[in-house]
Chain A
Amino acid sequence: MSSFSGNKAWVGLTIILIVFFFAGFYIYQSDLKRELSIASNESKKELVIIAQQVKERLQKKDYLLAKSFITAWGNNDTNISEIVLTAENGFEIEHFYNAKKAEKIIMQKTDISYAYDKTASLIIYWNIDEISQNQQLFMYQLLSGYFFIFVILFLLVRLNIRTQQQKSLLQIENKRRIAVENSLLETNTALQHREQDLSITLNSIGDAVIATDAEGNVVRMNPVAEQLTGWTLAEAKGVTLKTVFPIIDASTREVIENPVEKVIASGETIYLTNHTTLIAKDGTEYQIADSAAPIRDKENQIQGMVLVFNNVTEQYKLRHEISDYAQHLKLYREQAPLATIEWNVDFEVLDWNKAAEKMFGYKLEEVKGRYFVDFMLPESAVVDIKQLWIDLIAQTGGTKSINENITKDGHTILCEWHNTTIRDEEGNVVGAASIVQDITRQRKQEEQNRQTQKMDALGKLTGGIAHDFNNMLAIILGYSELLETELADQPELNTFAEAIRRASERGAKLTNRLLAFSRKKSSDAEVHNINTILRDEQDMLQRTLTSRIELTFELDDELWPVFIDAADLEDAIINVSINAMHAIDGNGRLTISTRNIRIEATESDSTRLSPGDYVLLSITDTGSGMSEEVKKKIFDPFYTTKGEQGNGLGLSQVYGFIERSHGAIHVYSEVRHGTQLMLYFPRYYGDDLLADDIHNDADLEVYSGSETVLVVDDEPALVNLASEILRNKGYTVFTASSGNEALTILGNESVDVMLSDVVMPEMDGYQLAQIVQQQYPAVKIQLASGFSDNRHKDTISHSLHENLLQKPYDSRTLLKKIRGLINA
């Protein structure tokens, strides 16, 4: 009702205003019209006057005067804005502009005929700005009046309406208040729901959540946080985070700065280190991973901090286990006895362990990234190995190979390779891994075993044959002796029987030799001193060798006893000596020496002897020596280099004798230098000697050291043997296979002692010693040799020659010599 009457009042007011507006507009328009009419009349009058004056002057052809008149008139009449006098041909004779520019004008025009055929036009622009301004002023006044009336009426209407409105406002206010209250109620409910949702959400989070205020006091915690800290929300509320969330460094056990101060100070999210340990209220420790972030309000002010963390104890443990495992794996790999190498798909080294370094002589950093073929293969193996690699990557083969490899110091070793590809999760080959074993010794051992087996087989074969043959010969011999007796009176036939007998006897001797080769066990073995046997045989031996061969004995007076067949020994010595004599052209020398020797465990493989005490009988000649090929066959029955002169059984017999004596025989030979046979016989202890005379390894410790020794020998086995003996006692060892290589090493490394073989191709030990004495006078020199070679002897000092280390040498002798040289 009230709104309806209010509207009516407004409508009425609007109508009144519209009426007033139109009335005022009408008045305004009428007044304007009147003013303009007045202005038009005045301007017309003036136009006539001006035109008259101008005409007079134009008639006189006094254009200047006409111009000046127009100018003067225009300046004097402020109602005139412009006056334009234009000739008939369009030329403006005069155009007067009033200095005060008019916004609104009315134009009056007339023509001036000043000559018979001449007409000019005159235009004046009458300024009606004043009229316009007056009208504008009138309009303002009118509008002001309207406004005033409007305000009055407006106020009246408003007052009326307000009164009515106030009544209804009260009703509306009541309604509104009820609505606001309801809205507040809804808002509260919503807030409560929101709070519940928040709590539910918080409680549902799997991680622990703690919220603090700006002072760092706990305001909220979820159940996971309660469980980990040991504090309930009720207990923790209002308590500082430092108290509720004490943390230490897992490694150092030192207290870690509480994150709340840092976050509130910096305003940034921070993450605690990986080694954070939370100590719960009951003392339980948890490894945690966490982050802390500021809580900001709408104005971006920090209101508190929220800490989110979770229990990573298991992961932490697992991570450590994995780390330990990796560490163990690494140690295992590093300490594994076999070489392990890892490659990329291009056969370049990615990684290799200590065993590989030791085997090949290269440090990892020297080979990492290098192509295998470039540095580890002899030329002869390149093609095969490349193909092997192709097969391996293609997974069609290449998993195992045995091939020669070259070490850093140029030695050739035989290695057994076991290869496998490394594949990623998709099964693509991303590399390969190899396990390598140096089987050089093993192969040599096998060869030696094969040789032994061969000799055994040969022994059995010859033994069998000899045995059968002996039986036949026995029959032939027996009957030939009978025939000799029966045919004593028939000389011619008796001669035939005698020939048969002699041939049979020779055959018997031959078969006896074969039997001697094949016999496993000597039935006449006794305890003997080899020196005694030698001395007894010396004369006979000298006669056998003839005067062109000088026989020399070098016998150890403290020689240990041995358990052997003396006759076999004599035969062995004779056989070897005769071979030596045949090998010496012209004059020469045969040296027979004896000494005690101890075979250590490290020498066992190379000597094929069990560790223990032995008596070494060496027979050395200055003959032509033997090639490797010949050396391999000298003990084969019937193998001879003497053509038809030899039966090839001599050394076979020696071999059999040694085997029966549980010893070993080694041959060292250098072509054009000579040959040395070394016969090892186990020391005979007897019951009273077993305990007392056995040396133990501890005695050798006095010869240990840390100096650097350079071992030079063209025989790889001897180099390896000497190197191993010295390294085991703490020495640093470099090796060289020639004099030139030794000099190269001396030029690059600091060496204390050089142990060098005498007999070497290109540059012998004497020549090397001379150079070393000149260029490296600080290096001490020990020469070793198995031959009594006096070449170049005069080029070196007498002491070097006199202190020559005789081969073969045992560990003790070598270590004693080296240590003695260093200490001198």
Chain B
Amino acid sequence: MKACSAYFAIVLFVFSFTGLFSVTAHAKDSLVLAVHPFLSPDQVQKKFAPLAQYLSQQTGFAVKVRVGSSYKEHIEYIGTDKVDIAYMGPASFVSLLNSYGAKPILAKLEVKGRAYFFGNIITRKDSGLKTLADLKDKKIAFGNPNSTMSYIVPHHMLHQANVFTGNSVKHDFLQSHDNVALGVLSGDFDAGAVKPAVFEKFKAQGLATIALTPKISEHIFVTRNNLPTETIDALRQAMLMINQSNNGVLAMHAIKKSITGLVGAKSSDYDNLRKVIFESKTLH
């Protein structure tokens, strides 16, 4: 009797350790990095896989990339802590804050040495339009209605400039910055809003900038609220040190070649955008 009990205790003891390991292994085993669908899933996977691998090496966690089916789903999943890490555009982050409250922030992008970006309100060089006021009753091209720089912020600026008075709102959403540039160049639209990279791309073909948007903080990495602090710290540390190693640099350039690093961020960095979004929703 006593031998059986001892045997049973030993087996239990051994299995208990196994269980601990498995629990522990499961707890440290994987993290999900969610990305909004700004490109096709395959393209997004390809862009963020090196970052996932880098984070895995740095933290010991197996980081996997998941692409949301829509911007809304993406916000919802991180808002409800269904994913561990989320990569978000500034507008999405503001929406996240507004809907789900603050989340632990890991870092934000630094692009060409700047942790902010802005947009260009553009027209053709020969259009004769010099100021935002000149755009009154003109046809404006925007990109995606969810896009910070191709719609949200420039739209707010135009409203501020009293361009959209009355009911004759002549604008279209052309879904992409490139389409906006092409629409303006082909003469179908008098002006448009694009990101600086697109402006530079089509500048030589005859674009000119009427105005620049305010600086908006760059894309950001956040985590779910209930992620262990040490994990958050490890992730944050890895991100902030990303440009110190070759693998980290490769991971940055896989997302965007112009990324020069990941820097610290706080919610208040996005207060100006929150205000714009708020005013856009309530006033326009």
Contacts from A to B (Cβ < 8 Å)? 61-64, 67, 87-89, 91, 93, 115, 118, 120
Residues 156-172 of B contacting A (Cβ, < 8 Å): 172
- B175 CB contacts on chain A under 8 angstroms: 62
- B141 CB contacts on chain A under 8 angstroms: 61
In the complex, the answer to whether B187 meets A87 with C-beta atoms within 8 Å is yes
Determine how close the nearest CB of chain B comes to the CB of A315; give it in whole angstroms: 101
In the complex, the answer to whether B187 meets A89 with C-beta atoms within 8 Å is yes
Stretch at the interface among B20-28, B51-59, B176-184: B176-184
In the complex, the answer to whether A61 meets B187 with C-beta atoms within 8 Å is no
Once A62-B174, A91-B205 are accepted as A-B contacts, the answer to whether A120 and B186 lie under 8 Å apart by CB is yes
- CA of A120 to CA of B141 in the docked complex: distance in angstroms? 19
Most-contacted residue by chain A among B176, B182, B185, B188 (CB, 10 A): B188
In the complex, the answer to whether B174 meets A91 with C-beta atoms within 8 Å is no
Determine how close the nearest CB of chain A comes to the CB of B221; give it in whole angstroms: 29
Most-contacted residue by chain B among A91, A118, A120 (CB, 10 A): A91
Determine how close the nearest CB of chain B comes to the CB of A475; give it in whole angstroms: 169
In the complex, the answer to whether B206 meets A91 with C-beta atoms within 8 Å is yes
In the complex, the answer to whether A64 meets B187 with C-beta atoms within 8 Å is no
In the complex, the answer to whether B185 meets A61 with C-beta atoms within 8 Å is no
Q: Which residue of A lies closest to B181 (CB)?
A: A63
In the complex, the answer to whether B179 meets A118 with C-beta atoms within 8 Å is no
- CA of A120 to CA of B185 in the docked complex: distance in angstroms? 13
Determine how close the nearest CB of chain B comes to the CB of A57; give it in whole angstroms: 10
Determine how close the nearest CB of chain A comes to the CB of B187; give it in whole angstroms: 4
- B178 CB contacts on chain A under 8 angstroms: 63-64
Most-contacted residue by chain A among B183, B186, B187 (CB, 10 A): B186
**Top 6 closest A-B pairs, CB basis?**
A87-B186, A63-B182, A89-B187, A91-B185, A61-B174, A91-B186
Q: Which residue of A lies closest to B189 (CB)?
A: A61
Determine how close the nearest CB of chain A comes to the CB of B71; give it in whole angstroms: 20
Q: Which residue of B lies closest to A63 (CB)?
A: B182
6 contacts between A and B (CB under 8 A): A61-B141, A62-B179, A63-B178, A88-B186, A91-B187, A93-B185
Q: Which residue of B lies closest to A93 (CB)?
A: B186
In the complex, the answer to whether A61 meets B183 with C-beta atoms within 8 Å is yes
- CA of A61 to CA of B174 in the docked complex: distance in angstroms? 6
Determine how close the nearest CB of chain B comes to the CB of A87; give it in whole angstroms: 3
- B183 CB contacts on chain A under 8 angstroms: 61, 63
- A88 CB contacts on chain B under 8 angstroms: 186-187
- B182 CB contacts on chain A under 8 angstroms: 63-64, 67, 93
- CA of A61 to CA of B206 in the docked complex: distance in angstroms? 19
Determine how close the nearest CB of chain A comes to the CB of B232; give it in whole angstroms: 39
In the complex, the answer to whether A87 meets B179 with C-beta atoms within 8 Å is no
- A91 CB contacts on chain B under 8 angstroms: 185-187, 205-206
Q: Which residue of A lies closest to B185 (CB)?
A: A91
- CA of A88 to CA of B172 in the docked complex: distance in angstroms? 19
Determine how close the nearest CB of chain B comes to the CB of A62; give it in whole angstroms: 6
- CA of A67 to CA of B174 in the docked complex: distance in angstroms? 14
In the complex, the answer to whether A64 meets B186 with C-beta atoms within 8 Å is no
Determine how close the nearest CB of chain A comes to the CB of B46; give it in whole angstroms: 19
- CA of A115 to CA of B172 in the docked complex: distance in angstroms? 14
| Apart from the given pairs A87-B185, A120-B186, 6 other A-B contacts in the complex at a CB distance below 8 Å | A61-B174, A61-B179, A62-B174, A63-B179, A91-B186, A91-B205
Q: Which residue of B lies closest to A90 (CB)?
A: B187
- CA of A118 to CA of B187 in the docked complex: distance in angstroms? 9
In the complex, the answer to whether B179 meets A64 with C-beta atoms within 8 Å is yes
- A62 CB contacts on chain B under 8 angstroms: 174-175, 179
In the complex, the answer to whether B174 meets A118 with C-beta atoms within 8 Å is no
- CA of A118 to CA of B188 in the docked complex: distance in angstroms? 7
Determine how close the nearest CB of chain A comes to the CB of B35; give it in whole angstroms: 22
In the complex, the answer to whether A115 meets B176 with C-beta atoms within 8 Å is no
Most-contacted residue by chain B among A63, A118, A120 (CB, 10 A): A63
Q: Which residue of B lies closest to A120 (CB)?
A: B186
Q: Which residue of B lies closest to A67 (CB)?
A: B182
Residues 125-177 of B contacting A (Cβ, < 8 Å): 141, 172, 174-176
- CA of A63 to CA of B188 in the docked complex: distance in angstroms? 11
- CA of A115 to CA of B189 in the docked complex: distance in angstroms? 12
CB < 8 Å neighbour of B176 from A64, A87, A89: A64
- CA of A185 to CA of B18 in the docked complex: distance in angstroms? 131
- B187 CB contacts on chain A under 8 angstroms: 87-89, 91, 118
In the complex, the answer to whether A61 meets B176 with C-beta atoms within 8 Å is no
- B186 CB contacts on chain A under 8 angstroms: 63, 87-89, 91, 93, 120
- A118 CB contacts on chain B under 8 angstroms: 187-188
- B176 CB contacts on chain A under 8 angstroms: 64
- CA of A118 to CA of B139 in the docked complex: distance in angstroms? 14
Q: Which residue of B lies closest to A88 (CB)?
A: B187
Determine how close the nearest CB of chain A comes to the CB of B231; give it in whole angstroms: 41
Determine how close the nearest CB of chain A comes to the CB of B199; give it in whole angstroms: 16
Determine how close the nearest CB of chain B comes to the CB of A116; give it in whole angstroms: 11
Determine how close the nearest CB of chain B comes to the CB of A304; give it in whole angstroms: 87
- CA of A454 to CA of B178 in the docked complex: distance in angstroms? 154
- CA of A88 to CA of B182 in the docked complex: distance in angstroms? 13
Q: Which residue of A lies closest to B184 (CB)?
A: A91
Most-contacted residue by chain A among B175, B179, B205, B206 (CB, 10 A): B179
- CA of A62 to CA of B172 in the docked complex: distance in angstroms? 11
Determine how close the nearest CB of chain A comes to the CB of B181; give it in whole angstroms: 9
- B172 CB contacts on chain A under 8 angstroms: 61
Q: Which residue of A lies closest to B173 (CB)?
A: A61
Determine how close the nearest CB of chain A comes to the CB of B212; give it in whole angstroms: 24
Determine how close the nearest CB of chain B comes to the CB of A781; give it in whole angstroms: 122
Determine how close the nearest CB of chain B comes to the CB of A420; give it in whole angstroms: 108
- A93 CB contacts on chain B under 8 angstroms: 182, 185-186
- B179 CB contacts on chain A under 8 angstroms: 61-64
CB < 8 Å neighbour of B188 from A61, A64, A67: A61
- CA of A87 to CA of B175 in the docked complex: distance in angstroms? 20
Q: Which residue of B lies closest to A62 (CB)?
A: B179
In the complex, the answer to whether B174 meets A115 with C-beta atoms within 8 Å is no
- CA of A453 to CA of B174 in the docked complex: distance in angstroms? 161
Q: Which residue of B lies closest to A115 (CB)?
A: B188
Q: Which residue of B lies closest to A85 (CB)?
A: B186
Q: Which residue of A lies closest to B174 (CB)?
A: A61
- B185 CB contacts on chain A under 8 angstroms: 87, 91, 93
- CA of A660 to CA of B141 in the docked complex: distance in angstroms? 169
- CA of A61 to CA of B175 in the docked complex: distance in angstroms? 9
- CA of A64 to CA of B180 in the docked complex: distance in angstroms? 10
- CA of A118 to CA of B205 in the docked complex: distance in angstroms? 20
Determine how close the nearest CB of chain A comes to the CB of B75; give it in whole angstroms: 26
Determine how close the nearest CB of chain B comes to the CB of A68; give it in whole angstroms: 11
- B174 CB contacts on chain A under 8 angstroms: 61-63
Most-contacted residue by chain B among A61, A93, A118 (CB, 10 A): A61
Determine how close the nearest CB of chain B comes to the CB of A64; give it in whole angstroms: 5
- CA of A63 to CA of B183 in the docked complex: distance in angstroms? 7
- A87 CB contacts on chain B under 8 angstroms: 185-188
- CA of A64 to CA of B201 in the docked complex: distance in angstroms? 14
- CA of A385 to CA of B212 in the docked complex: distance in angstroms? 118
Q: Which residue of A lies closest to B206 (CB)?
A: A91
- CA of A749 to CA of B72 in the docked complex: distance in angstroms? 139
Determine how close the nearest CB of chain B comes to the CB of A243; give it in whole angstroms: 102
- A89 CB contacts on chain B under 8 angstroms: 186-187
- CA of A776 to CA of B188 in the docked complex: distance in angstroms? 135
- A115 CB contacts on chain B under 8 angstroms: 188
Determine how close the nearest CB of chain B comes to the CB of A84; give it in whole angstroms: 13
- CA of A36 to CA of B272 in the docked complex: distance in angstroms? 65
- CA of A89 to CA of B125 in the docked complex: distance in angstroms? 13
- A67 CB contacts on chain B under 8 angstroms: 182
- CA of A258 to CA of B100 in the docked complex: distance in angstroms? 130
Determine how close the nearest CB of chain B comes to the CB of A90; give it in whole angstroms: 9
Determine how close the nearest CB of chain B comes to the CB of A119; give it in whole angstroms: 11
Determine how close the nearest CB of chain A comes to the CB of B216; give it in whole angstroms: 24
- CA of A182 to CA of B176 in the docked complex: distance in angstroms? 102
- CA of A67 to CA of B179 in the docked complex: distance in angstroms? 10
Residues 188-207 of B contacting A (Cβ, < 8 Å): 188, 205-206
Determine how close the nearest CB of chain A comes to the CB of B93; give it in whole angstroms: 27
- CA of A102 to CA of B238 in the docked complex: distance in angstroms? 55
Q: Which residue of B lies closest to A61 (CB)?
A: B174
